[in-house]
């Protein structure tokens, strides 16, 4: 969803040009999240003294891409780009429209008044904004946008205008504001009344901080400061004192830089030292010192926030020689599945180790039911592995769409184990479902690709899929890595059951050769590109399969929908006669997946039904299946693997097909319209 980026340089001299370049580069790193407008907020004066410049704030906002915002910045006549700032806070934002159409006035930063006394950037949705707006309008505050975010900017101004003392600090104001907000948010504030200070907070939406200094920092664990009891209502010294025991700052010199961002990809080129904020944390930077505050202490709260070192590298979020991130990520799959398995499977003695589950595996083995909860592509990874999970664990396995799971108030019990599958680890529906299951006493397991994400922190245990950063909105390598991670879990669950050992060994040895087989499938790229030239002008495509490959049909259809804007539908071949067969004629493109597994004969029957209605299906089949190849006019031949892993090999041709169709249709592969990479609102 929306992208937040802010940069504060404290006694690190930077020209306005440098600052704007850092802000815009941060926004470009967040472009993959999906957006339709962008904006920045910086100090406005052109004096040589940064303090006098900080008395005014300049907003520059524009509909469209970051490139358009960059052009708008260079059109500004009243700002000198060569003015140097010893201390400065700049905030920047990419907006994914929810309340109000994409336009400069609805873009962020949103302002408190015509003088820009307070400005704020926001990712999330405020659900009680109408009530807040009504209240503020009754107090004389005038609104100019349609956004929910403007109420936050006006509310902080209201709190400031009605302060009981002039020495109230910025963090206290923000705490008072957040107490009135309902919904999900990540926020960063800037104000003319607090020059060189920044305050960020979050609830339900991701926010992290990066720290960069050439000097040793005072601590690697920042203590959380809690408000003292009732006295604070009368006095303004509501926050505990901040000193070297409670703050983060460089020891020898004062020079330090801080970054606020929605995710790590925006800060990794500046620093690999980050702090992941928890829900209701208020992070305040004042005089170059970072402190973290909370209003209420809850049972189980960790008393400090650790500075973590990111393992991500800049080259991982660059396209390299590929035309798009999606293409790069499709071709990274031989490596990404190896990374998912690395250190976890010993192919010589057929053992599986998942460190994140080791303390809970006995409890999981005693459970009565597994529930896999996810959205979109992650849901398809659950569908793809349900059959092998049922086979190896001999437990009932439910696969649920998180939004529907919540809508139904699904019964969950203490002896259930609930898996939450999410690439970003921030998916709002999955996060709400996680909290729902925790309230009911179920054991929760996270399967994510993002260290420090909300799901990875809030679950009891989990598996990190180690696929590396995924930038393209249409998920590819995360799907195959989630698939492999769930297979490894199934193998771990049955490691002590003698009757299943031959099957278990077969799957483990299948995983051993999987990366090489993926490379063979990727070598079909030119062939699939030719197929795309025949299909790209069509309006619809049907994808059919059954058994292990039903999930492949759903996932392939989703990829085609997402980035080509063609209608596509994944159909269970066993349901063909119950309605979908009516769509089949000589003009309707049909793709069928037929593999040499237990559903082979049934799939052949479905093929005959399609052909009898003058359908001309394109088959994805086993390259050794000479009978099917001989009787078909068009086939994509993939190598054979263990039946439960074949879905990984059959989905890659559909990933490549969707990519080539989108390119031929002239669309932006990485940023499809109306979609965001990380869906952080319900």
The candidate with the shortest Cα–Cα distance to 679, out of 434, 380, 377, is: 377
Specify whether the CB–CB gap between 621 and 646 falls below 8 A: no
d(CA 250, CA 12) in angstroms, rounded, equals 12
d(CA 507, CA 347) in angstroms, rounded, equals 11
The residues, ordered by sequence, that sit 6+ positions from 351 with a Cβ below 8 Å of its Cβ are 345, 495
CA triple 38-43-45, angle to 5 deg: 130
**Burial track 160-192 (b if 16+ CB lie within 10 A, e otherwise):** beeeeeeebbbbbbbbbbbebbebbbbbbbbbb
Dihedrals phi, psi of 17, to nearest 5 degrees? -60, -45
d(CA 424, CA 399) in angstroms, rounded, equals 19
Q: How far is CA 105 from the centre of its chain?
A: 27
2 included as an active-site residue? yes
499: burial class by Cβ within 10 Å (0-12, 13-18, 19+)?
exposed
Give the number of other Cβ atoms within 10 Å of residue 567's Cβ. 13
Residue from 2, 375, 418, 437 carrying the catalytic annotation: 2
d(CA 302, CA 282) in angstroms, rounded, equals 15
Give how far Cα 137 sits from Cα of 112, 133, 154, Å. Answer: 12, 6, 10
349: burial class by Cβ within 10 Å (0-12, 13-18, 19+)?
exposed
DSSP class of residue 349 equals T
3-state SS of the chain: helix, strand, coil percent to 5? Answer: 40, 25, 40
Active-site annotation, residues: 2
């Amino acid at each position: 969803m929306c992208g937040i980026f802010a940069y504060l340089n404290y006694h690190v001299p930077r020209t306005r040009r440098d600052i704007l370049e850092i802000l815009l580069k941060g926004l470009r790193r967040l472009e993959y999240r999906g957006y339709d407008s962008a904006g920045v907020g910086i100090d406005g004066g052109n004096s040589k003294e940064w303090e006098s410049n900080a008395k005014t704030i300049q907003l520059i906002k524009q509909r469209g891409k970051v490139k358009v915002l960059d052009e708008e910045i260079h059109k500004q006549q009243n700002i000198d780009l060569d003015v140097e700032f010893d201390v400065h806070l700049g905030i920047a934002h990419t907006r994914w429209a929810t309340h109000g159409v994409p336009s400069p006035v609805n873009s962020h930063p949103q302002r408190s008044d015509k003088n820009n006394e307070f400005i704020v950037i926001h990712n999330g949705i405020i659900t009680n904004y109408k009530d807040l707006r009504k209240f503020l309008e009754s107090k004389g505050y005038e609104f100019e946008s349609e956004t929910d975010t403007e109420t936050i900017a006006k509310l902080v101004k209201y709190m400031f205008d009605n302060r009981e003392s002039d020495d109230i600090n910025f963090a206290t104001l923000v705490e008072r504001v957040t107490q009135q907000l309902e919904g999900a948010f990540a926020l960063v504030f800037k104000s003319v009344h607090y020059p060189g200070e920044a305050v960020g907070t979050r609830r339900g939406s991701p926010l992290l901080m990066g720290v960069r200094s050439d000097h040793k920092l005072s601590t690697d664990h920042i203590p959380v400061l809690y408000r003292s009891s009732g006295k604070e209502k009368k006095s303004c010294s509501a926050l505990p004192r901040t000193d070297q025991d409670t703050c983060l700052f460089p020891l020898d010199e004062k020079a330090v830089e801080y970054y606020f961002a929605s995710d790590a990809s925006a800060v990794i080129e500046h620093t690999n030292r980050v702090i992941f904020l928890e829900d209701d944390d208020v992070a305040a930077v004042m005089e170059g010192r970072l402190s973290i505050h909370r209003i209420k202490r809850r049972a189980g709260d960790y008393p400090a926030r650790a500075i973590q070192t990111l393992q991500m590298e800049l080259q991982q979020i660059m396209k390299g020689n590929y035309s798009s991130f999606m293409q790069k990520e499709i071709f990274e799959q031989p490596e990404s599945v190896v990374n998912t398995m690395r250190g976890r499977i010993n192919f010589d003695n057929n053992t599986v180790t998942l460190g994140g589950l080791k303390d809970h595996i006995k409890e999981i083995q005693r459970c009565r039911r597994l529930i896999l909860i996810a959205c979109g592509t992650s849901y398809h990874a659950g569908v793809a592995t349900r059959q092998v999970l049922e086979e190896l664990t001999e437990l009932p396995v439910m696969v649920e769409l998180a939004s529907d799971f919540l809508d139904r108030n699904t019964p969950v019990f203490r002896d259930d184990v609930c898996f939450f599958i999410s690439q970003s680890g921030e998916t709002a529906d999955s996060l709400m479902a996680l909290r729902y299951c925790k309230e009911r006493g179920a054991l929760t397991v996270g399967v994510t690709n993002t260290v420090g994400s909300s799901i990875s922190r809030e679950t009891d245990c989990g598996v990190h899929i180690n696929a590396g950063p995924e930038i393209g909105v249409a998920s590819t390598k995360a799907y195959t890595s989630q698939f492999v991670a769930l297979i490894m879990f199934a193998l771990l669950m049955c490691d002590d059951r003698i009757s299943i050992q031959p099957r278990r060994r077969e799957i483990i040895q299948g995983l051993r050769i999987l990366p090489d087989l993926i490379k063979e499938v990727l070598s079909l790229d030119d062939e699939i590109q030719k197929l795309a030239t025949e299909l790209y002008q069509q309006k619809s495509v049907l994808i059919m399969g059954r058994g292990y490959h039903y999930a492949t049909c759903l996932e392939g259809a989703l990829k085609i929908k997402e980035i080509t804007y063609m209608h596509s539908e994944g159909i269970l071949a066993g349901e063909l006669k119950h309605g979908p067969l009516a769509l089949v004629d000589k003009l309707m493109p049909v793709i069928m997946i037929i593999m040499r597994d237990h559903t082979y004969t049934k799939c052949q029957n479905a093929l005959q039904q399609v052909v009898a209605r003058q359908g001309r299906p394109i088959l994805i089949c086993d390259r050794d299946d000479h009978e099917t190849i001989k009787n078909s006019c068009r086939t994509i031949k993939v190598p054979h693997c263990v039946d439960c892993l074949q879905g990984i090999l059959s989905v890659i041709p559909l990933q490549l097909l969707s990519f080539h169709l989108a390119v031929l249709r002239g669309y932006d592969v990485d940023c499809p319209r109306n979609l965001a990479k990380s869906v952080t609102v319900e």
